[in-house]
Structure 1
Amino acid sequence: MTLLRTPLYPVYAEFGAKTVEFGGWDMPVQFASGINAEHEAVRQRVGLFDVSHMGEFEVTGPDAQGFLQHLITNDASKLEPGMAMYSPLTNDEGGCVDDLLVYCFADDHYWTVVNAGNIAKDFAWMQPHVGTYNVTLINRSEDIALLALQGPNAESLLQPLTDTALADIRFYRFAQGQVAGVNAVISRTGYTGEDGFELYVDAEQAVGLWHSLVAAGEAYGLVPCGLGARDTLRLEARLPLYGHEITDSISPLEGGLSPFVKLEASDFPGRDVLAKQKADGVPRKVVGLQMTERGIPRAGYAVYDGDREVGFITSGTMSPTLHQAIGLALVATDVATVGNPLYVDIRGKRTACEIVKTPFYKRPKA
């Protein structure tokens, strides 16, 4: 299998990247400093991620908003130019095709940003829904690179490189401007639990921008970061990962994403299934776990209530910030209560844990 490479692949060796396969891409799991150091840099200072493997679809035309409203579970009618929105994308059975971001540039111009491993699947799912809508749907993933600058020093580092007033870009907002002379869409959404920015640029400009950010970041303690730190950071913040907390067979309500499911907004695929789940109550829920005995919960490990198997771990790690083993698990609703003691089967041993409130970590208020 030939792995795909992002436009930033040429810089990996320079910064000591160790790469792994991820969603069909050859991506850095870590750079020279290592996962824990990269995690700590984002929590305390600033980190730079290559997330150019993510996909971007452009939706244009008079019916652009109506088309998206028909597909996503969130309410696209609330979007105004300069706003972004998170939403699940559901199938007819109420499971998740993906979770994505929608960017509104104008009433007739939107982007959807989708997960790397789902680019082909998502486009194939969305294309037939164009139907009678007066829209054009284009996959622009190969044209666009995406760099994520995350951490408390992100704004201080980035502001001298752009004339765009970064303080005016609120959470889930974006602006168009230049960064280090490169045309960019500058957004503030994040996937780490920290403040930060995403920079969407022409793929050919990505390497030059990376070097500009690294050079400017020397004064701010910037560290290049890989997918390993991205995963531990998002897990501490209880942010879902597609294929783990939500899948084709795990609904957004089961995955804890009910705030992003607006049943009254439109007749999106799977709406009736989710309406029934909401009315009857979901049979299982994603909950946070903290180990009370030594052991690290890993995805796929079975979870027990006494001798009864009640679910499985969807994500787990040793939290670099909390220095405790934590995880997310999809468990039967009747045991999904904070404080409930459960057990994780770790290599054949039932290891004690308890259900805890999430997120595991919240960044300090400014």
Structure 2
Amino acid sequence: MTIAMTPLLQYHQHQGFPLTASGEAVVTFGNDADISQDFSNGCLLYDQSHWGLLNFTGADRQRYLHNQSTNQIQQLQPGQSCDTVLVNSTARTIDLATVHILDDALWVQVSPQKKTFLLEWFDRFLFPMDKVEISDLSGQFNILSLMGVQAKEILEKLTGVTLADFPNGGHQFLEIQGQNILCATGNSLKLPGYTLYIPAEAGVEIWQALMNLGMIPCGEAAWEKLRIHQGRPAPTKNSPKTITLWKQGFGIAFPLIKAATLARKPLPASIPTKALNSASLGFNFLPP
């Protein structure tokens, strides 16, 4: 899967910032040494538009994704969001994904290293009777991650509205610069903040508006340091087995009832009891 360069990435390049070897993201904005202090006292702005964004539609979309991952996707309602671990039949972790439940679709954000594989993998496990269609939205949206203690204040200044709180994960639609933007509570590093999904044609304008409010740009090199600090596994580097996700200390909510169900049944999303027991110290179990 090749993502065309978005107008925002072209803007970064024209500003003279170096790109990664793949040409999909900015390596550094020249402020890496100050990043740790910046997110502790202010707010970082990370362009993660090179991550994958998959769109699930059809009547069976929640049931299908529920059976391919660890969280209770089938029970979620529109407006809710969650992290979930995508696993194969032998309990090996494929990726840590973020799911947003829309009225008529699921948006699934996946790691950049796994976007091509997962699009093919999901399609391979579809049966003719499954009422599910999967499409690729990668590159059609700029995904901007706001990370830091001032994220809410800055976003409220930009929108002029008081943001709803979603302590257990959720999203709302906000009008920003004339665009209807999905704003999800949280980000990929479990830091205070939000994630915005912006139509690519509006990415530059909204990036500039956020920067004018005092946000600090974060490139790939700085984000990688934060990833290690926060304990988020990189799929191709340090998560060959399911347990690795939680050995890193990056625990996510995992429903207790789903854990018991997965440990008992040999479905593609099942996790063997031994692996489940080994990893359970890192789970944040939710009540049924």
Residues 53 and 109 in structure 2, CA contact (< 8 A), matched pair in contact too: yes
Residues 152 and 163 in structure 2, CA contact (< 8 A), matched pair in contact too: yes
Shift of 1:77: 2.6
Structure 1 residues 145, 65: CA separation in 2 closer, same or farther (over 3 Å shift)? same
SS in 2 for 1:117: coil
What TM-score does the superposition give when structure 1 sets the normalisation length? 0.67
Aligned counterpart for 2:209 among listed residues 207, 212, 218: 212
Q: Give the Cα–Cα distance (whole angstroms) in 1 for the partners of residues 133 and 190 of structure 2.
A: 34
Matched ranges for 1:1-366 at <5 A = 5-13=5-13, 16-21=16-21, 24-32=22-30, 34-106=31-103, 108-131=104-127, 132-170=129-167, 172-217=169-214, 222-246=215-239, 250-256=240-246, 259-260=253-254, 262-265=258-261, 268-269=267-268, 271-272=270-271, 274-278=272-276, 281=278
What TM-score does the superposition give when structure 2 sets the normalisation length? 0.83
Higher relative contact order (CA 8 A, sep 6+): 2
SS in 2 for 1:116: coil
Post-superposition Cα deviations, 1:56-103, rounded to whole Å, max 9, x if no partner, equal 111112111111111112221332211111111112232122221111
**For the pair shown, which has the larger CA radius of gyration, 1 or 2?**
1
Structure 1 residues 86, 134: CA separation in 2 closer, same or farther (over 3 Å shift)? same
Q: Give the Cα–Cα distance (whole angstroms) in 2 for the partners of residues 67 and 153 of structure 1.
A: 37
Q: For structure 2, which runs of at least 5 residues remain unmatched after alignment? A: 283-288
Structure 1 residues 164, 269: CA separation in 2 closer, same or farther (over 3 Å shift)? farther
Equivalent residue number for residue 286 of structure 2: none
Residues 193 and 234 in structure 1, CA contact (< 8 A), matched pair in contact too: no
SS in 1 for 2:74: helix
Shift of 1:29: 2.1
Q: Give the Cα–Cα distance (whole angstroms) in 2 for the partners of residues 167 and 15 of structure 1.
A: 35
Structure 1 residues 271, 146: CA separation in 2 closer, same or farther (over 3 Å shift)? same
Post-superposition Cα deviations, 1:149-180, rounded to whole Å, max 9, x if no partner, equal 11111111110222553143445211012123
Aligned residues: 270
Q: For structure 1, which runs of at least 5 residues remain unmatched after alignment? A: 287-366
SS in 2 for 1:209: helix
Structure 1 residues 41, 237: CA separation in 2 closer, same or farther (over 3 Å shift)? same
Q: Give the Cα–Cα distance (whole angstroms) in 2 for the partners of residues 258 and 199 of structure 1.
A: 21
Residues 142 and 199 in structure 2, CA contact (< 8 A), matched pair in contact too: yes
Q: Give the Cα–Cα distance (whole angstroms) in 2 for the partners of residues 70 and 104 of structure 1.
A: 16
Letter in 2 for 1:8: L
Residues 69 and 269 in structure 2, CA contact (< 8 A), matched pair in contact too: no
Shift of 1:141: 1.1
Structure 1 residues 143, 69: CA separation in 2 closer, same or farther (over 3 Å shift)? same
**Which has a greater percent of helix?**
2
Q: Give the Cα–Cα distance (whole angstroms) in 2 for the partners of residues 229 and 52 of structure 1.
A: 16
Residues 193 and 233 in structure 1, CA contact (< 8 A), matched pair in contact too: no
